[in-house]
Structure 1
Amino acid sequence: MSDPLLTLRGVHTHIGPYHILQGVDLEVPRGGVTVLLGRNGAGKTTTLRTIMGLWQVREGLIQFDGAQIHQETTPVIAQREIAFVPEDMGIFTDLTVHENMLLAARSGVLEEERLSWIFGLFPPLKTFWHSAAGVLSGGQKQMLAVARAIVEPRKLILIDEPTKGLAPAIINAMVVALKELKEMQTTILLVEQNFSMASAVGDTVAVMDDGRIVYKGDMCELAADAALQERLMGLSLEAHQ
Protein backbone atom coordinates (compact mmCIF):
# COMPACT_ATOMS: atom_id res chain seq x y z
CA MET A 1 0.00 0.00 0.00
CA SER A 2 1.13 3.55 -0.74
CA ASP A 3 -0.47 6.97 -0.77
CA PRO A 4 -4.17 7.32 0.11
CA LEU A 5 -6.69 6.72 -2.64
CA LEU A 6 -9.40 8.39 -0.56
CA THR A 7 -9.02 11.20 1.96
CA LEU A 8 -11.58 12.91 4.17
CA ARG A 9 -10.55 16.13 5.87
CA GLY A 10 -12.70 17.81 8.52
CA VAL A 11 -15.93 16.41 7.06
CA HIS A 12 -19.18 17.56 8.68
CA THR A 13 -22.52 16.10 7.62
CA HIS A 14 -25.97 17.15 8.83
CA ILE A 15 -29.10 15.08 8.34
CA GLY A 16 -32.04 17.36 8.98
CA PRO A 17 -31.44 18.97 12.38
CA TYR A 18 -28.87 16.35 13.39
CA HIS A 19 -25.13 16.99 13.17
CA ILE A 20 -23.91 13.43 12.47
CA LEU A 21 -20.33 13.72 11.21
CA GLN A 22 -18.38 16.23 13.27
CA GLY A 23 -15.03 16.71 11.57
CA VAL A 24 -14.14 13.28 10.19
CA ASP A 25 -10.50 12.82 9.17
CA LEU A 26 -9.84 9.54 7.38
CA GLU A 27 -7.33 8.14 4.90
CA VAL A 28 -7.91 4.96 2.88
CA PRO A 29 -4.63 3.59 1.45
CA ARG A 30 -4.56 2.21 -2.07
CA GLY A 31 -4.82 -1.50 -2.67
CA GLY A 32 -5.90 -2.65 0.77
CA VAL A 33 -8.87 -3.04 3.09
CA THR A 34 -9.61 -0.30 5.60
CA VAL A 35 -12.15 -1.30 8.25
CA LEU A 36 -14.36 1.30 9.90
CA LEU A 37 -15.46 0.22 13.39
CA GLY A 38 -17.63 1.82 16.03
CA ARG A 39 -20.76 1.50 18.10
CA ASN A 40 -24.20 1.73 16.48
CA GLY A 41 -24.94 5.35 15.71
CA ALA A 42 -21.29 6.41 15.65
CA GLY A 43 -21.56 7.67 12.05
CA LYS A 44 -20.10 4.79 10.03
CA THR A 45 -22.95 4.44 7.53
CA THR A 46 -23.26 8.21 7.24
CA THR A 47 -19.56 8.34 6.34
CA LEU A 48 -20.06 5.90 3.44
CA ARG A 49 -23.18 7.68 2.22
CA THR A 50 -21.40 11.03 2.42
CA ILE A 51 -18.52 9.72 0.32
CA MET A 52 -21.06 8.60 -2.31
CA GLY A 53 -22.76 11.99 -2.32
CA LEU A 54 -26.01 10.60 -0.92
CA TRP A 55 -25.61 13.02 1.99
CA GLN A 56 -24.06 16.41 1.38
CA VAL A 57 -20.86 17.65 3.02
CA ARG A 58 -21.63 20.76 5.05
CA GLU A 59 -17.96 21.50 5.75
CA GLY A 60 -14.63 19.88 4.86
CA LEU A 61 -13.48 18.03 1.77
CA ILE A 62 -13.32 14.56 0.25
CA GLN A 63 -10.54 13.77 -2.21
CA PHE A 64 -10.48 10.66 -4.38
CA ASP A 65 -7.56 9.72 -6.61
CA GLY A 66 -6.31 13.30 -6.68
CA ALA A 67 -9.68 14.97 -7.33
CA GLN A 68 -12.07 16.65 -4.90
CA ILE A 69 -15.44 14.92 -5.10
CA HIS A 70 -17.46 16.28 -2.18
CA GLN A 71 -19.44 18.65 -4.39
CA GLU A 72 -20.18 16.07 -7.08
CA THR A 73 -23.43 14.17 -7.57
CA THR A 74 -23.76 10.47 -6.83
CA PRO A 75 -23.83 9.41 -10.53
CA VAL A 76 -20.64 11.36 -11.23
CA ILE A 77 -18.94 9.84 -8.18
CA ALA A 78 -19.96 6.35 -9.32
CA GLN A 79 -18.46 7.05 -12.73
CA ARG A 80 -15.11 7.52 -11.02
CA GLU A 81 -15.12 3.72 -10.50
CA ILE A 82 -16.48 3.80 -6.97
CA ALA A 83 -19.06 1.16 -6.03
CA PHE A 84 -21.27 1.10 -2.93
CA VAL A 85 -22.86 -1.94 -1.27
CA PRO A 86 -25.38 -0.50 1.21
CA GLU A 87 -26.53 -2.30 4.34
CA ASP A 88 -29.95 -2.89 2.76
CA MET A 89 -28.12 -4.44 -0.24
CA GLY A 90 -29.91 -2.32 -2.85
CA ILE A 91 -30.84 -5.19 -5.18
CA PHE A 92 -33.94 -5.30 -7.39
CA THR A 93 -36.00 -8.19 -6.04
CA ASP A 94 -38.41 -8.31 -9.00
CA LEU A 95 -35.57 -8.69 -11.49
CA THR A 96 -33.58 -11.86 -12.10
CA VAL A 97 -30.05 -12.30 -10.83
CA HIS A 98 -28.90 -11.91 -14.44
CA GLU A 99 -30.83 -8.65 -14.87
CA ASN A 100 -29.46 -7.28 -11.58
CA MET A 101 -25.93 -7.97 -12.74
CA LEU A 102 -26.54 -6.51 -16.19
CA LEU A 103 -27.84 -3.27 -14.69
CA ALA A 104 -24.69 -2.97 -12.61
CA ALA A 105 -22.43 -3.29 -15.65
CA ARG A 106 -21.83 0.23 -16.93
CA SER A 107 -20.96 -1.11 -20.39
CA GLY A 108 -24.20 -3.09 -20.54
CA VAL A 109 -22.16 -6.25 -21.21
CA LEU A 110 -21.18 -9.01 -18.79
CA GLU A 111 -17.60 -10.08 -19.41
CA GLU A 112 -17.47 -13.88 -19.38
CA GLU A 113 -14.12 -14.31 -17.65
CA ARG A 114 -15.06 -11.97 -14.81
CA LEU A 115 -18.48 -13.59 -14.51
CA SER A 116 -16.85 -17.02 -14.17
CA TRP A 117 -14.65 -15.61 -11.40
CA ILE A 118 -17.73 -14.26 -9.59
CA PHE A 119 -19.50 -17.61 -9.92
CA GLY A 120 -16.43 -19.23 -8.36
CA LEU A 121 -16.75 -16.90 -5.38
CA PHE A 122 -20.54 -17.15 -5.09
CA PRO A 123 -21.82 -20.39 -6.72
CA PRO A 124 -25.51 -19.81 -5.79
CA LEU A 125 -25.63 -16.88 -8.22
CA LYS A 126 -25.03 -19.26 -11.11
CA THR A 127 -27.67 -21.65 -9.77
CA PHE A 128 -30.29 -18.88 -9.52
CA TRP A 129 -29.10 -16.93 -12.58
CA HIS A 130 -32.54 -16.80 -14.19
CA SER A 131 -34.55 -16.59 -10.95
CA ALA A 132 -35.99 -13.45 -9.41
CA ALA A 133 -33.61 -12.02 -6.83
CA GLY A 134 -36.49 -11.93 -4.36
CA VAL A 135 -36.42 -15.72 -3.97
CA LEU A 136 -32.81 -15.72 -2.75
CA SER A 137 -31.97 -16.23 0.90
CA GLY A 138 -30.58 -13.33 2.89
CA GLY A 139 -27.04 -14.58 2.42
CA GLN A 140 -27.54 -15.12 -1.30
CA LYS A 141 -28.93 -11.60 -1.65
CA GLN A 142 -25.81 -10.28 0.04
CA MET A 143 -23.69 -12.28 -2.40
CA LEU A 144 -25.61 -10.65 -5.26
CA ALA A 145 -25.14 -7.19 -3.76
CA VAL A 146 -21.37 -7.67 -3.57
CA ALA A 147 -21.28 -9.31 -7.02
CA ARG A 148 -23.01 -6.28 -8.53
CA ALA A 149 -20.30 -4.04 -7.07
CA ILE A 150 -17.50 -6.16 -8.54
CA VAL A 151 -19.09 -7.05 -11.89
CA GLU A 152 -16.53 -4.67 -13.40
CA PRO A 153 -13.15 -3.60 -11.99
CA ARG A 154 -13.51 -0.70 -9.55
CA LYS A 155 -10.93 1.52 -7.94
CA LEU A 156 -12.83 1.67 -4.64
CA ILE A 157 -15.62 -0.37 -3.10
CA LEU A 158 -17.57 0.86 -0.07
CA ILE A 159 -19.28 -2.01 1.78
CA ASP A 160 -21.66 -1.54 4.71
CA GLU A 161 -21.89 -4.53 7.10
CA PRO A 162 -21.89 -7.33 4.50
CA THR A 163 -21.98 -10.19 7.06
CA LYS A 164 -24.80 -8.92 9.30
CA GLY A 165 -27.02 -11.87 10.20
CA LEU A 166 -25.27 -14.29 7.84
CA ALA A 167 -24.31 -17.92 8.43
CA PRO A 168 -20.62 -18.72 8.98
CA ALA A 169 -20.26 -20.44 5.60
CA ILE A 170 -21.45 -17.32 3.79
CA ILE A 171 -19.22 -15.12 5.92
CA ASN A 172 -16.29 -17.30 4.87
CA ALA A 173 -17.27 -16.78 1.22
CA MET A 174 -17.23 -13.02 1.81
CA VAL A 175 -13.77 -13.23 3.37
CA VAL A 176 -12.45 -15.12 0.35
CA ALA A 177 -14.01 -12.59 -2.03
CA LEU A 178 -12.51 -9.61 -0.21
CA LYS A 179 -9.08 -11.22 -0.06
CA GLU A 180 -9.17 -11.93 -3.79
CA LEU A 181 -10.23 -8.35 -4.52
CA LYS A 182 -7.34 -7.12 -2.40
CA GLU A 183 -4.93 -9.29 -4.40
CA MET A 184 -6.28 -7.57 -7.52
CA GLN A 185 -5.32 -4.19 -5.98
CA THR A 186 -8.92 -3.16 -5.38
CA THR A 187 -9.24 -0.69 -2.51
CA ILE A 188 -12.02 -1.41 -0.01
CA LEU A 189 -13.56 0.64 2.79
CA LEU A 190 -15.50 -1.80 4.95
CA VAL A 191 -17.95 -1.16 7.77
CA GLU A 192 -18.19 -4.39 9.75
CA GLN A 193 -19.28 -5.44 13.25
CA ASN A 194 -17.94 -9.01 13.03
CA PHE A 195 -14.42 -8.44 14.33
CA SER A 196 -13.23 -11.92 13.43
CA MET A 197 -14.11 -11.22 9.81
CA ALA A 198 -12.82 -7.65 9.93
CA SER A 199 -9.44 -8.70 11.35
CA ALA A 200 -9.15 -11.47 8.76
CA VAL A 201 -9.31 -9.05 5.84
CA GLY A 202 -8.39 -5.64 7.24
CA ASP A 203 -5.03 -3.97 6.73
CA THR A 204 -5.81 -0.68 8.44
CA VAL A 205 -8.57 0.28 10.84
CA ALA A 206 -10.32 3.41 12.01
CA VAL A 207 -12.67 3.61 14.99
CA MET A 208 -15.52 6.12 15.09
CA ASP A 209 -17.31 7.57 18.09
CA ASP A 210 -19.88 10.37 18.13
CA GLY A 211 -19.21 11.35 14.52
CA ARG A 212 -15.42 11.52 14.78
CA ILE A 213 -12.48 9.22 14.12
CA VAL A 214 -10.97 8.45 17.53
CA TYR A 215 -8.36 5.89 16.47
CA LYS A 216 -6.39 5.02 13.34
CA GLY A 217 -3.82 2.28 12.95
CA ASP A 218 -2.89 -1.13 11.62
CA MET A 219 -5.50 -3.83 12.09
CA CYS A 220 -2.92 -6.30 13.40
CA GLU A 221 -2.08 -3.93 16.28
CA LEU A 222 -5.70 -3.47 17.34
CA ALA A 223 -6.43 -7.19 17.01
CA ALA A 224 -3.52 -8.00 19.33
CA ASP A 225 -4.40 -5.46 22.03
CA ALA A 226 -7.48 -6.39 24.07
CA ALA A 227 -7.01 -3.42 26.40
CA LEU A 228 -7.02 -1.01 23.45
CA GLN A 229 -10.16 -2.67 22.10
CA GLU A 230 -11.91 -2.17 25.42
CA ARG A 231 -10.79 1.45 25.69
CA LEU A 232 -11.94 2.32 22.18
CA MET A 233 -15.15 0.36 22.02
CA GLY A 234 -16.21 0.00 25.63
CA LEU A 235 -16.03 -3.78 25.32
CA SER A 236 -13.61 -6.35 23.99
CA LEU A 237 -13.94 -6.80 20.26
CA GLU A 238 -13.36 -10.49 20.89
CA ALA A 239 -17.01 -10.57 21.89
CA HIS A 240 -17.89 -9.86 18.26
CA GLN A 241 -16.28 -13.04 17.00
Structure 2
Amino acid sequence: MVEAVTQGMPILRLADVQTHIGPYHILHGVDLEVPRGGVTMLLGRNGAGKTTTLRTIMGLWQASAGKLEFDGVDITKRHTPAIAQLGIAYVPENMGVFADLTVAENMRLAARGGPVDEQRLDWVFRMFPALKIFWHQRAGVLSGGQKQMLSVARAIIEPRKLLIVDEPTKGLAPAIIQNMIAVFRELKQTDVSILLVEQNFHMAKSVGDTVAVMDNGKIVHAGRMAALAEDEALQQRLLGLSLAAHQ
Protein backbone atom coordinates (compact mmCIF):
# COMPACT_ATOMS: atom_id res chain seq x y z
CA MET A 1 0.00 0.00 0.00
CA VAL A 2 1.47 3.35 -1.05
CA GLU A 3 -0.23 6.52 0.11
CA ALA A 4 0.37 9.98 -1.39
CA VAL A 5 2.03 12.01 1.35
CA THR A 6 3.43 15.17 -0.21
CA GLN A 7 2.90 17.68 -2.93
CA GLY A 8 5.65 19.04 -5.16
CA MET A 9 8.94 17.53 -6.15
CA PRO A 10 10.61 15.33 -3.49
CA ILE A 11 14.23 16.08 -2.71
CA LEU A 12 15.17 12.43 -3.35
CA ARG A 13 13.52 9.91 -5.65
CA LEU A 14 14.42 6.28 -6.34
CA ALA A 15 12.63 4.62 -9.25
CA ASP A 16 12.80 0.83 -9.73
CA VAL A 17 16.31 0.72 -8.23
CA GLN A 18 18.02 -2.65 -8.24
CA THR A 19 21.34 -3.43 -6.59
CA HIS A 20 23.53 -6.50 -6.84
CA ILE A 21 26.41 -7.17 -4.46
CA GLY A 22 28.55 -9.79 -6.14
CA PRO A 23 26.24 -12.67 -7.00
CA TYR A 24 23.52 -11.47 -4.60
CA HIS A 25 20.49 -9.52 -5.79
CA ILE A 26 19.65 -7.29 -2.79
CA LEU A 27 17.34 -4.53 -4.03
CA HIS A 28 14.50 -5.72 -6.26
CA GLY A 29 13.09 -2.49 -7.67
CA VAL A 30 12.98 0.12 -4.89
CA ASP A 31 10.57 3.02 -5.40
CA LEU A 32 11.13 5.64 -2.71
CA GLU A 33 10.42 9.35 -2.37
CA VAL A 34 11.84 11.58 0.37
CA PRO A 35 9.83 14.80 0.79
CA ARG A 36 11.52 18.15 1.25
CA GLY A 37 11.71 18.95 4.92
CA GLY A 38 10.93 16.76 7.91
CA VAL A 39 11.96 13.19 8.62
CA THR A 40 11.28 10.14 6.47
CA MET A 41 11.65 6.86 8.36
CA LEU A 42 12.86 3.80 6.46
CA LEU A 43 11.72 0.76 8.44
CA GLY A 44 11.80 -2.99 7.90
CA ARG A 45 12.89 -6.29 9.33
CA ASN A 46 16.58 -7.21 9.50
CA GLY A 47 17.90 -8.03 6.05
CA ALA A 48 15.11 -6.16 4.24
CA GLY A 49 17.60 -3.99 2.33
CA LYS A 50 17.56 -0.72 4.28
CA THR A 51 21.32 -0.23 4.62
CA THR A 52 21.85 -1.34 1.02
CA THR A 53 19.38 1.35 -0.03
CA LEU A 54 21.32 4.03 1.84
CA ARG A 55 24.65 2.87 0.45
CA THR A 56 23.20 2.79 -3.06
CA ILE A 57 21.96 6.37 -2.67
CA MET A 58 25.46 7.43 -1.66
CA GLY A 59 27.10 5.58 -4.57
CA LEU A 60 29.01 3.26 -2.25
CA TRP A 61 27.29 0.47 -4.17
CA GLN A 62 26.22 1.15 -7.73
CA ALA A 63 22.64 0.48 -8.76
CA SER A 64 22.48 -2.20 -11.45
CA ALA A 65 19.18 -0.81 -12.78
CA GLY A 66 16.73 2.00 -12.12
CA LYS A 67 17.23 5.70 -11.48
CA LEU A 68 18.21 7.84 -8.48
CA GLU A 69 17.52 11.57 -8.56
CA PHE A 70 18.54 14.13 -5.93
CA ASP A 71 17.22 17.68 -6.04
CA GLY A 72 16.53 17.31 -9.77
CA VAL A 73 19.98 15.86 -10.56
CA ASP A 74 20.44 12.29 -11.83
CA ILE A 75 22.94 10.69 -9.43
CA THR A 76 22.53 7.09 -10.61
CA LYS A 77 26.05 6.76 -11.98
CA ARG A 78 27.80 9.38 -9.87
CA HIS A 79 30.55 8.50 -7.42
CA THR A 80 30.30 9.12 -3.68
CA PRO A 81 32.34 12.37 -3.46
CA ALA A 82 30.30 13.96 -6.24
CA ILE A 83 27.05 12.92 -4.54
CA ALA A 84 28.19 14.34 -1.20
CA GLN A 85 29.14 17.62 -2.83
CA LEU A 86 25.53 18.09 -3.93
CA GLY A 87 24.60 18.54 -0.26
CA ILE A 88 24.09 15.06 1.19
CA ALA A 89 25.63 13.93 4.49
CA TYR A 90 25.69 10.24 5.41
CA VAL A 91 26.06 8.81 8.91
CA PRO A 92 26.72 5.06 8.57
CA GLU A 93 25.76 2.47 11.15
CA ASN A 94 29.42 2.10 12.19
CA MET A 95 29.53 5.88 12.87
CA GLY A 96 32.61 6.48 10.69
CA VAL A 97 34.58 8.60 13.19
CA PHE A 98 38.39 8.71 13.13
CA ALA A 99 39.40 7.16 16.45
CA ASP A 100 43.01 8.41 16.39
CA LEU A 101 41.99 12.03 15.77
CA THR A 102 40.61 14.41 18.36
CA VAL A 103 36.99 15.50 18.39
CA ALA A 104 38.15 18.88 17.06
CA GLU A 105 40.10 17.26 14.21
CA ASN A 106 37.11 15.08 13.30
CA MET A 107 34.93 18.16 13.08
CA ARG A 108 37.46 20.12 11.02
CA LEU A 109 37.66 17.27 8.52
CA ALA A 110 33.88 17.25 8.26
CA ALA A 111 34.05 20.96 7.45
CA ARG A 112 35.99 19.89 4.34
CA GLY A 113 39.27 21.24 5.62
CA GLY A 114 38.04 24.79 6.01
CA PRO A 115 37.53 26.69 9.25
CA VAL A 116 34.63 25.56 11.40
CA ASP A 117 31.90 28.20 11.58
CA GLU A 118 31.94 29.24 15.23
CA GLN A 119 28.27 30.17 15.38
CA ARG A 120 27.25 26.82 13.90
CA LEU A 121 29.66 25.04 16.26
CA ASP A 122 28.00 26.72 19.25
CA TRP A 123 24.65 25.42 17.92
CA VAL A 124 26.10 21.89 17.72
CA PHE A 125 27.51 22.19 21.25
CA ARG A 126 24.06 23.13 22.56
CA MET A 127 22.72 19.84 21.20
CA PHE A 128 25.80 17.78 22.14
CA PRO A 129 27.47 19.44 25.16
CA ALA A 130 29.71 16.40 25.75
CA LEU A 131 31.59 17.20 22.53
CA LYS A 132 32.70 20.54 23.96
CA ILE A 133 33.95 18.82 27.09
CA PHE A 134 35.96 16.27 25.07
CA TRP A 135 36.96 18.69 22.28
CA HIS A 136 40.69 17.96 22.59
CA GLN A 137 40.36 14.25 23.40
CA ARG A 138 40.87 11.46 20.87
CA ALA A 139 37.58 10.21 19.50
CA GLY A 140 38.63 6.66 20.32
CA VAL A 141 38.25 7.26 24.07
CA LEU A 142 34.63 8.40 23.78
CA SER A 143 31.77 6.18 24.87
CA GLY A 144 29.50 4.64 22.25
CA GLY A 145 26.88 7.30 22.80
CA GLN A 146 29.44 10.10 22.56
CA LYS A 147 30.83 8.66 19.33
CA GLN A 148 27.31 8.63 17.90
CA MET A 149 26.92 12.26 18.93
CA LEU A 150 30.17 13.04 17.13
CA SER A 151 29.10 11.20 13.99
CA VAL A 152 25.87 13.18 13.78
CA ALA A 153 27.64 16.44 14.67
CA ARG A 154 30.13 15.87 11.85
CA ALA A 155 27.25 15.47 9.41
CA ILE A 156 25.61 18.77 10.39
CA ILE A 157 28.64 21.00 11.00
CA GLU A 158 27.97 22.40 7.53
CA PRO A 159 24.50 23.11 6.14
CA ARG A 160 23.19 20.14 4.15
CA LYS A 161 20.16 19.59 1.96
CA LEU A 162 19.75 15.94 2.98
CA LEU A 163 20.92 14.03 6.03
CA ILE A 164 20.95 10.21 5.76
CA VAL A 165 21.42 8.35 9.04
CA ASP A 166 21.60 4.60 9.61
CA GLU A 167 20.36 3.47 13.06
CA PRO A 168 21.61 6.36 15.22
CA THR A 169 20.25 4.86 18.47
CA LYS A 170 21.59 1.32 18.06
CA GLY A 171 23.08 0.13 21.34
CA LEU A 172 22.52 3.44 23.13
CA ALA A 173 21.20 3.94 26.65
CA PRO A 174 17.65 5.32 27.02
CA ALA A 175 18.91 8.72 28.20
CA ILE A 176 21.09 9.07 25.10
CA ILE A 177 18.19 8.00 22.89
CA GLN A 178 16.07 10.78 24.40
CA ASN A 179 18.88 13.20 23.60
CA MET A 180 18.92 11.98 20.00
CA ILE A 181 15.16 12.46 19.76
CA ALA A 182 15.58 16.05 20.93
CA VAL A 183 18.36 16.60 18.39
CA PHE A 184 16.34 15.31 15.45
CA ARG A 185 13.33 17.35 16.54
CA GLU A 186 15.52 20.44 16.45
CA LEU A 187 16.96 19.48 13.06
CA LYS A 188 13.40 19.24 11.75
CA GLN A 189 13.08 22.99 12.37
CA THR A 190 15.93 23.70 9.92
CA ASP A 191 16.01 23.44 6.13
CA VAL A 192 17.51 19.94 6.06
CA SER A 193 15.52 16.90 4.90
CA ILE A 194 16.25 13.65 6.75
CA LEU A 195 16.13 9.98 5.75
CA LEU A 196 16.45 7.86 8.87
CA VAL A 197 16.79 4.09 9.29
CA GLU A 198 15.83 3.14 12.84
CA GLN A 199 14.91 0.02 14.79
CA ASN A 200 13.88 1.89 17.93
CA PHE A 201 10.18 2.47 17.36
CA HIS A 202 9.83 5.05 20.10
CA MET A 203 12.39 7.11 18.17
CA ALA A 204 10.59 6.44 14.86
CA LYS A 205 7.23 7.51 16.24
CA SER A 206 8.70 10.55 18.00
CA VAL A 207 10.50 12.12 15.04
CA GLY A 208 9.09 10.57 11.86
CA ASP A 209 6.77 12.53 9.59
CA THR A 210 6.54 10.05 6.73
CA VAL A 211 7.50 6.38 6.57
CA ALA A 212 8.50 3.77 4.01
CA VAL A 213 8.63 0.10 4.96
CA MET A 214 10.91 -2.35 3.18
CA ASP A 215 10.59 -6.10 2.78
CA ASN A 216 12.68 -8.38 0.60
CA GLY A 217 14.43 -5.53 -1.18
CA LYS A 218 11.31 -3.52 -2.06
CA ILE A 219 9.15 -0.77 -0.58
CA VAL A 220 5.89 -2.40 0.50
CA HIS A 221 4.28 0.55 2.27
CA ALA A 222 4.59 4.34 2.25
CA GLY A 223 2.53 6.88 4.14
CA ARG A 224 2.37 8.99 7.28
CA MET A 225 4.37 7.79 10.28
CA ALA A 226 1.53 8.77 12.62
CA ALA A 227 -0.91 6.58 10.70
CA LEU A 228 1.38 3.55 10.96
CA ALA A 229 1.97 4.21 14.66
CA GLU A 230 -1.78 4.10 15.29
CA ASP A 231 -2.48 0.90 13.30
CA GLU A 232 -1.26 -2.15 15.22
CA ALA A 233 -2.65 -4.58 12.66
CA LEU A 234 -0.64 -2.89 9.92
CA GLN A 235 2.47 -2.91 12.11
CA GLN A 236 2.09 -6.65 12.66
CA ARG A 237 1.62 -7.29 8.96
CA LEU A 238 4.52 -5.14 7.78
CA LEU A 239 7.01 -5.52 10.62
CA GLY A 240 5.89 -8.59 12.54
CA LEU A 241 5.55 -6.65 15.79
CA SER A 242 3.64 -3.89 17.52
CA LEU A 243 5.19 -0.47 18.05
CA ALA A 244 3.41 -0.28 21.40
CA ALA A 245 5.54 -3.17 22.66
CA HIS A 246 8.76 -1.29 21.81
CA GLN A 247 8.37 2.04 23.58
Normalising by structure 1, we get a TM-score of: 0.98
2:47 paired residue number: 41
SS of the residue 2:145 aligns to: helix
Q: What pairs up with 1:107-118 in 2 under 5 angstroms?
A: 108-118=114-124
Aligned residue in 2 for 1:75:
81
Residue 178, structure 1, aligned to residue 184, structure 2: yes
Mapped to 1, the partners of 2:200 and 2:241 lie a distance apart of 13
Which residue in 2 is equivalent to 1:141?
Answer: 147
1:3-59 Cα distance to aligned partner (Å, 9 max, x none): 300000000000111100000000000011000000010000000000000000100
Cα distance in structure 2, aligned partners of 1:117 and 1:34? 23
Counterpart-to-counterpart distance in 1, 2:209 and 2:40:
6
Runs of 4+ deviating beyond 6 Å: none
Letter matched to residue 133 of structure 1: A
Please name the residue that 1:84 is paired with. Answer: 90
Whole-angstrom distance in 1 between the partners of 2:21 and 2:244: 33
Aligned match of 1:225: 231
Partner of 1:240: 246
Aligned to 2:102: 96
Q: Which runs of 5+ in 1 are unaligned?
A: none
Secondary structure of residue in 2 paired with 1:57: coil
In 2, are the aligned partners of 1:96 and 1:129 still within 8 Å (CA)?
Answer: yes
Distance in 1 between the 2:143 and 2:175 partners? Answer: 13
Could you say which residue in structure 2 is the equivalent of 1:27? 33
- Counterpart in the other structure of 1:15: 21
* 2:216 is the counterpart of 1:210: yes
Residue type at the aligned position of 2:103: V
Identical amino acids, percent of aligned pairs: 68
CA distance in 1, matches of 2:213, 2:207: 16
Alpha carbons 1:62, 1:69 under 8 Å: kept? yes
Contact residue 193 and residue 240 of structure 1 kept, 8 A = no
- The one-letter amino acid of 1:173's match is N
Q: Secondary structure at the match of 1:94?
A: coil
Deviation (angstroms), 1:169: 1.4
CA distance in 2, matches of 1:160, 1:232: 20
Query: Following the alignment from structure 1 to structure 2, what is the Cα–Cα distance between the partners of residues 118 and 174?
Result: 12
* Residue-by-residue CA offset, 1:152-195 (whole Å, 9 max, x unaligned): 01000100000001011111111111111110121000000001
Q: CA RMSD in A?
A: 0.9
**In structure 1, how many angstroms separate the alpha carbons of the residues matched to 2:131 and 2:92?**
19
Counterpart of 1:236, as a letter, is S
What secondary structure sits across from 1:109 in the alignment?
coil
- In 2, distance between residues paired with 1:239 and 1:161? 19
2:3: which partner in 1?
none
Secondary structure at the aligned position of 1:77 is classed as: helix
> Does 2:41 correspond to 1:54?
no
